[in-house]
Chains A and B, each alone.
Chain A
């Protein structure tokens, strides 16, 4: 059984690396204690600061293909509860759950005394660590806090330094993705002596517009405001930003990964890119605290299977596998292969290849195989026209003798597409649109050429350098 206990950012200990992010699921002590009972290893308290007034409504979401909440957007601000109530409850939770991590998210105005004061009071209350909210993209940023601070490296560094002057517990800086290069803010935090980072906060968004009222969602008395986007839709953006930070020496610090994590697989991906803990919000808001049970169970089983005893055994393992495009091997070739016995004959690969890729998947198994460029084939419209010109009738047992099977495979042979390997560029699109797992596989075709990257080609003078190297 894998050991999931974690010691994060030099001293935040917890039974597992699954934390609830600073958000509605961590609004009060009662909630957090129920979350710990459900199995969460830690919780980042809903951001504490001078109490605000919220609006109603506050959330909106993007549904996709019948699935609810692919992406969630909110315009809720930080805690609307008095600071002393939050602090009193922190003390209570820590007393009852001494082994779980309680991290206090903080946001106050940009004054040294204000930050010194809140840090001291929070640590006195018993918090195991502090998370500086430099990421909230709505409302608070209009008041010079949240992402307004996170977007300015000078302020980010200055406030982090003020906090580090007082803090006795680890200090995490939560980064905003609403910035051209997230490393600018990460480097500022590192220069100021932060112990760790959390990334990413929510992304500026307008989730949609009501086509009857013309009002964007979420609607507040006929108007809306841009909010913070999160949920499954943002995971790829979050993974990229975590990788950028963790691969940059001047930025890298213990990382608490955030963004679209809903199950153990998502979490494992963040760990593989260097995160030491992960934070979850949307999935818990959607299904409740109970989802952590499978996060723990699934990750443990996967680790046992792979032979990893602790998270440290695989943390960051994929970082070396992310590189710049210019270092990719240009002499590596794969082609699509269709497994005829799995094909169901939907022909989505055919139309995707013709309209969206390189016109090399054809419906010519019956009429006769033809390899070559687009001109030698009938285009998709010809196939559609042919089917619609055919006379079809309802088969009536009495009038129509049953037909024999249509070939060796489940789908009729004329509907099983064929890949012209001489034209296939190995783009993956067909395998991505295929609804059947394992039906289209990408197979290597040795080119007989030694690996060579664009960078190497430029260096050997084979091509003129077309791009100017950028650095920050």
Chain B
């Protein structure tokens, strides 16, 4: 698959979704980087799933070695530009900063990393290619999300022939289709992937959806990496849940990111209180909906969204309706979505959440966005012969990404159940190293 030459950014979307956090200017970056203590065996580096040498890249900003700073970051994490924008740094590197023990603000690691990466892009530099001999072994990476991209980039850097398969029009997975635009623009995700393509990774548009396709891949490639992510979002299994006005959160986010407007929608109800629910709710607000409500069956302390995401939603004017669950989507006589029929919830004596029997009530809305999680790709995985699956996740050896089938490695959401971009990158890179070791031992056996 050819990457699009240029992704046409929608001007209206760009206007409605400016950067959530402003970029650091050069002098701000130097002042901030000088604040870093340069800890030994730094806790921020340990906390980062990809173990970016944080003090190392920060002190390179301080010394004015911006190119060295970016390449230091890229050595550990090839999707460093998007990670600098989408990582929940509060619970990762910045959460581990020793400044917290010192009654001081942690170093703004995320913004510094973004500064280094944006300087790198602005300079027109490419990811430095490692000087290694070309290898003939071929590896297929299925899915073009962060896990596959990281795996493919590392394998290519080690000289192997790598092909990434993607069923959608654009590569990048959730980085391209699923991250709130004020955090990471689709255009930026594509620019980052272009750098990986320039390393020599081949991209092919193809859906690997049946056994025949897998058998064919096994014939063409030595090893296969599965970075297929999670499946579609859970459906709203209620009367009226299949109405056109019910759009799941990921579909909603993907459509506005690609420039789809939100016509004639004034009030939106988002069901669920995870990070994706908040991304969808805030987006609806920015797209012009006057009233956006998040409906959640428990209360604020049970939400799965990060604390800073919850705060952000409130600042954007999103309202929350706690301890409530939907019973049906009401359609008006004109066939339009009209409201959501709800009941309050309570905990019974054994701690289970139950709908109450008291009066039902309606919440008026023109659109319902369920954000109640993604289903595992059970159907797809069931097709893979001899691949151990547990609770809908592929079982792997953590350190190498090896599955129970020696021809397959895996990483990202399809093995970890749905974490962050940086976790997928770490999985992909570990799997690449596992693949390298596996191929080396195979060669050794052949030679032996």
Contacts and interface: CB of A to CB of B under 8 A. Distances in A.
| A, B bound | yes
Interface of A: 65-66, 343-348, 350-351, 380, 383-384, 387-388, 390-399, 410-411, 415, 435-436
Contact of A348 (B39, B47, B91): B39
A394 B49 contact: yes
A344 B46 contact: no
Contact of A436 (B87, B102, B426, B430): B102
Contact of A347 (B39, B48, B62): B39
Nearest to A410: B101
Contact of B98 (A380, A396, A398, A411): A411
Contact of A391 (B99, B399, B419, B422): B399
A347 B45 CA distance: 14
Given A66-B30, A397-B304, A435 B102 contact: yes
Given A383-B41, A391-B49, 19 more contacts: A65-B34, A344-B98, A383-B40, A384-B41, A387-B41, A388-B45, A388-B46, A391-B398, A391-B426, A392-B46, A392-B47, A392-B48, A394-B88, A394-B419, A394-B422, A396-B419, A399-B419, A411-B101, A436-B102
Contacts of B37: 346, 348, 435
B104 to A, nearest CB: 9
Nearest to B30: A66
Given A66-B31, A345-B101, A436-B102, A393 B46 contact: no
B38 interface: yes
B102 A393 contact: no
A374 B278 CA distance: 54
Given A397-B304, A436-B102, A345 B419 contact: no
B416 interface: yes
Pairs A-B, 6 closest by C-beta atoms:
A66-B34, A351-B40, A344-B101, A347-B40, A346-B39, A344-B98
Nearest to B398: A391
Nearest to B419: A394
B305 to A, nearest CB: 9
A346 B51 contact: no
B40 A393 contact: no
B149 to A, nearest CB: 18
Nearest to A387: B46
Contacts of B40: 346-348, 350-351, 380, 383-384
Nearest to A415: B43
Contacts of B49: 391-394
26 contacts: A65-B34, A65-B62, A66-B34, A66-B35, A343-B101, A344-B102, A345-B39, A347-B39, A348-B38, A348-B40, A350-B40, A383-B41, A384-B41, A387-B46, A388-B45, A391-B49, A391-B398, A393-B49, A393-B416, A393-B423, A393-B426, A394-B87, A394-B420, A397-B304, A398-B304, A435-B102
B43 A345 contact: yes
A345 B102 CA distance: 10
Contacts of B214: none
B219 to A, nearest CB: 33
B416 A345 contact: no
B355 interface: no
B341 interface: no
B92 interface: yes
A415 B39 CA distance: 11
Nearest to B46: A387
Contacts of A344: 98-99, 101-102
A399 B413 CA distance: 13
Nearest to A439: B102
B417 interface: yes
A344 B419 CA distance: 29
B393 to A, nearest CB: 11
Contacts of A397: 304
Contacts of B419: 393-394, 396, 399
Nearest to A64: B34
B102 A396 contact: no
Interface string B416-440: 1101101100100010000000000
